[in-house]
């Protein structure tokens, strides 16, 4: 259930169009209320908005044919991966066809010697890692949800490993894309570097389906580390925890993961994931490397933590314990939202230069102290990126008002620090005004690109910025 109303202006598609969809796609085209609702709802606080039809693509040719049908009929087309984005990114706010990519989920090639692979866009990150397990390689980008690679590329996603391995910006080497003209292009070859013309790969990464449909993705992979150690450490203060992270980054400790969970978030995780952690601000760490390298990283971080009011490190010594810990971290969003039964979630997403992180996070915590609705802080602090998760009662309009006010103050704070309103979730519907404030005239260049590439404005219209 969503609580944030969406625009309702949309022209219904002509019955002839639905007939031509059925003629070309048969059972791959569906228009039942249940299927349309599944594709018109999101994980977050937005009201549902249903597409006119859903088409399940099975090949790039399917996508080409759908694009041609939609552009000749003037019908919007909104790509749908796993539907886990949380800024309303995949909601078909102007109706049209939701193009479900989940059946295009094959791993097409693994080039172990080159540390890369090519997958269809609907392949999910967990299935890719399952497939890769015997190769000694892994794909590190891990948003909390089991998202598709195409969706992750389109939102420029990251996750807990970004501090060491980067985001989708670094992970994507090349894309196969169906353009709004129905042409199939490949944005790059597999060479580790290239200076060949405009960097279309980077243009499509983060474009949220507004410039075309990605059907294949070539990804950079990494060797599974020889040693992996994970631990949690509670702190006397939020300041001490954040200072530990900033100092470790400034000392160039190659942390693989470092996540902060404030006292409220730990309480939520204890309840949701049946943990028994002390309810204080806590850092979750993971160290990757050779045995000697990991031992050195641990010694440095333990010393920093101690100097900043950290307690003893609690180690996850078995693979099962480590998985349990990170599963709890990945479910932290649901844990926070469910602090109140029946609540709706809203996650903020600022990211600031690392030296400004302590100031930003402490001011935010002070702001939350006066809030009447439950809210937690958690985040990928090694990148300067953290989330406030609001647990919103849909029956209480004041909750939305209060959350909006806190979010506005938080983004203003981050922008003053030369940060961004979104470290990883994208703009979607929810952050368009903030994008204007963040990038100003640069949005006009984005509009020029959008108009040139999608002159009918049919690809995920109404997202990122208005035209």
Ligand X SMILES: Cc1cc2nc3c(=O)[nH]c(=O)nc-3n(C[C@H](O)[C@H](O)[C@H](O)COP(=O)(O)OP(=O)(O)OC[C@H]3O[C@@H](n4cnc5c(N)ncnc54)[C@H](O)[C@@H]3O)c2cc1C
Which residues of this chain interact with ligand X, rule CB under 6 A?
43, 78-86, 89-90, 101, 121, 143-145, 147-148, 150-152, 154-155, 157-159, 208-209, 213-214, 333, 424-425, 460
15: which residues sit within 8 A by CB, 6+ positions away?
none
Q: Which is nearer to ligand X, 103 or 412 (CB)?
A: 103
Give the Cα-Cα-Cα angle 457, 459, 462 (nearest 5 degrees): 65
Least spacing, CB of residue 56 vs ligand X, in Å? 13
Least spacing, CB of residue 213 vs ligand X, in Å? 5
Least spacing, CB of residue 314 vs ligand X, in Å? 23
The residue among 291, 290, 304 whose CA lies nearest residue 252 is 304
Least spacing, CB of residue 141 vs ligand X, in Å? 8
Angstrom distances, CA of residue 288 to CA of 222, 227, 294: 12, 6, 6
Positive or negative: CA dihedral 60, 65, 71, 74:
negative
The residue among 347, 430, 334 whose CA lies nearest residue 389 is 347
Backbone angles phi, psi at 258, to 5 degrees: -150, 115
Q: Which is nearer to ligand X, 71 or 85 (CB)?
A: 85
Least spacing, CB of residue 462 vs ligand X, in Å? 11
Least spacing, CB of residue 244 vs ligand X, in Å? 21
Least spacing, CB of residue 343 vs ligand X, in Å? 14
Question: Residue with CB nearest ligand X?
Answer: 151
Q: Which is nearer to ligand X, 17 or 333 (CB)?
A: 333
Least spacing, CB of residue 183 vs ligand X, in Å? 15
- Tokens in use for 300? 């440095």
- Tokens in use for 318? 């078995």
Least spacing, CB of residue 162 vs ligand X, in Å? 8
Q: Which is nearer to ligand X, 78 or 301 (CB)?
A: 78
The residue among 237, 232, 78 whose CA lies nearest residue 150 is 78
- Alpha-carbon distance of 207 to 393, in angstroms, equals 32
Backbone angles phi, psi at 348, to 5 degrees: -80, 175
Q: Which is nearer to ligand X, 227 or 271 (CB)?
A: 271
Least spacing, CB of residue 100 vs ligand X, in Å? 9
Strand segments (E) across 8-60: 29-30, 53-56
- Alpha-carbon distance of 391 to 343, in angstroms, equals 6
Q: Which is nearer to ligand X, 41 or 154 (CB)?
A: 154
270: which residues sit within 8 A by CB, 6+ positions away?
276, 277, 279
Give the Cα-Cα-Cα angle 237, 243, 245 (nearest 5 degrees): 115
Least spacing, CB of residue 322 vs ligand X, in Å? 18
Q: Which is nearer to ligand X, 279 or 331 (CB)?
A: 331
**Nearest-10 Cα torsion for 58, 63, 65, 68:** 160
- Strand 97-100 with 53-56, pairing: parallel
- Alpha-carbon distance of 359 to 366, in angstroms, equals 11
Q: Which is nearer to ligand X, 93 or 248 (CB)?
A: 93
Q: Which is nearer to ligand X, 157 or 294 (CB)?
A: 157
Give Cα 116 to chain centroid, integer Å.
21
Q: Which is nearer to ligand X, 158 or 244 (CB)?
A: 158
Positive or negative: CA dihedral 320, 324, 329, 334:
positive
Least spacing, CB of residue 460 vs ligand X, in Å? 5
Q: Which is nearer to ligand X, 304 or 421 (CB)?
A: 421
**Residue with structure tokens 């849909």?**
394
In a 13 Å sphere around the CA of 162, the CA atoms on its Cβ side amount to: 24
The residue among 336, 325, 320 whose CA lies nearest residue 233 is 325
Q: Which is nearer to ligand X, 52 or 424 (CB)?
A: 424
């Amino acid at each position: 259930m969503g609580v944030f109303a969406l625009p309702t202006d949309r022209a219904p598609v002509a019955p002839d169009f639905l007939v031509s969809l059925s003629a070309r796609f048969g059972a791959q085209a569906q228009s039942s209320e249940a299927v349309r609702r599944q594709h018109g709802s999101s994980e977050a606080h937005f009201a549902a908005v249903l597409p006119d039809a859903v088409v399940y693509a099975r090949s790039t040719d399917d996508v080409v044919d759908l694009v041609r049908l939609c552009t000749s009929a003037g019908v919007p087309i909104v790509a749908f991966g796993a539907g886990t984005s949380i800024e309303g990114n995949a909601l078909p706010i102007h109706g049209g066809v939701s193009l479900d990519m989940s059946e295009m989920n094959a791993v097409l090639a693994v080039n172990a010697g080159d540390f890369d692979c090519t997958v269809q866009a609907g392949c999910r990150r967990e299935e890719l890692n399952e497939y890769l397990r015997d190769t000694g390689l892994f794909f590190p980008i891990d948003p909390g949800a089991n998202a598709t690679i195409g969706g992750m590329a389109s939102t420029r996603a990251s996750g807990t490993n970004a501090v060491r391995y980067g985001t989708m910006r670094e992970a994507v080497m090349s894309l196969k894309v169906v353009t709004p003209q129905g042409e199939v292009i490949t944005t790059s070859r597999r060479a580790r570097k290239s200076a060949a013309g405009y960097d279309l790969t980077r243009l499509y990464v983060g474009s949220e389906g507004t410039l075309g449909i990605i059907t294949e993705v070539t990804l950079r992979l990494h060797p599974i580390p020889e040693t992996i150690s994970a631990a949690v450490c509670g702190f006397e203060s939020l300041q001490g925890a954040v200072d530990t992270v900033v100092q470790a980054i400034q000392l160039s400790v190659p942390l693989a993961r470092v996540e902060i969970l404030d006292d409220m978030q730990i309480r939520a995780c204890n309840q949701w994931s049946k943990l028994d952690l002390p309810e204080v601000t806590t850092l979750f760490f993971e160290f990757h490397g050779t045995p000697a390298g990991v031992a050195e990283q641990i010694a440095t971080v333990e010393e920093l933590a101690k100097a900043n009011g950290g307690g003893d490190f609690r180690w996850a010594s078995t693979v099962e314990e480590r998985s349990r810990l990170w599963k709890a971290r990945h479910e932290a969003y649901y844990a926070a939202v469910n602090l109140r039964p029946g609540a709706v979630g809203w996650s903020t997403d600022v990211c600031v230069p690392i030296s400004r992180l302590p100031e930003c996070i402490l001011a935010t915590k002070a702001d939350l102290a006066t809030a009447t609705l439950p809210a937690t802080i958690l985040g990928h602090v090694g990148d300067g990126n953290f989330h406030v998760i609001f647990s919103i009662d849909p029956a209480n309009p004041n909750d939305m008002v209060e959350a909006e006010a806190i979010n506005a103050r938080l983004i203003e704070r981050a922008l003053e620090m030369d940060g961004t309103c979104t470290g990883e979730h994208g703009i979607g519907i929810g952050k368009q005004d903030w994008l204007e404030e963040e990038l100003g005239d640069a949005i006009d260049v984005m509009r020029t690109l959008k108009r040139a590439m999608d002159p009918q404005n049919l690809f995920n219209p109404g997202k990122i910025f208005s035209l």
